[in-house]
């Protein structure tokens, strides 16, 4: 049972364009929503995260939009650059019995063409 659905699976964007990756979740117990970025040959690294009581969070060119009623959230990359080419994973955190675990989406491979 996939608890975090991510789309698209892959995305090609021209340099300077906007990249948009969408995620949806079902479990209302999720209480934190991070995005991880993974470059080839590296492990994922935290990019940006949002709490469910906030509708938007912006860090530089990266913005998360969060719609709690629709149980959806998305990552927007403004002015996309070739260096942003990576795989992006949305995730959701469940806190239970004193520890938290992450449930990841299946990932989006982003290619920003020069």
Residue 99 touches another protein, criterion: CB under 8 A: yes
Q: How far is the CB of 78 from another protein (least distance, A)?
A: 23
For residue 92 the two structure tokens come to 């959701």
For residue 85 the two structure tokens come to 């080419």
For residue 47 the two structure tokens come to 């990019």
d(C-alpha 3, C-alpha 84), whole Å: 26
d(C-alpha 35, C-alpha 60), whole Å: 14
Identified binder of another protein from the candidate list 64, 105, 110, 112, rule CB under 8 A: 105
Residue 28 touches another protein, criterion: CB under 8 A: no
Residue 57 touches another protein, criterion: CB under 8 A: no
d(C-alpha 72, C-alpha 24), whole Å: 4
Q: Near another protein by CB under 8 A, which window of 42-50, 55-63, 67-75, 76-84?
A: 42-50
Other beta carbons less than 10 A from residue 74's beta carbon: 18
Q: How far is the CB of 100 from another protein (least distance, A)?
A: 5
Residue ranges in contact with another protein by CB under 8 A: 6, 9, 31-32, 34, 41-46, 49, 51, 89, 93-95, 98-107
């Amino acid at each position: 049972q996939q608890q975090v659905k991510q789309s698209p699976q892959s995305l090609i964007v021209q340099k300077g364009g906007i990249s948009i990756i969408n995620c949806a979740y079902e479990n209302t117990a999720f209480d934190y929503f991070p995005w991880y970025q993974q470059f080839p040959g590296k492990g994922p690294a935290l990019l940006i995260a949002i709490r469910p009581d906030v509708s938007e969070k912006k860090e530089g060119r990266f913005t998360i939009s969060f719609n709690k009623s629709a149980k959806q959230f998305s990552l927007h990359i403004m002015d996309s650059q070739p260096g942003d080419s990576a795989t992006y994973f949305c995730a959701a955190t469940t806190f239970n019995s004193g520890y938290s675990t992450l449930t990841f989406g299946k990932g989006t491979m982003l290619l920003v063409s020069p």
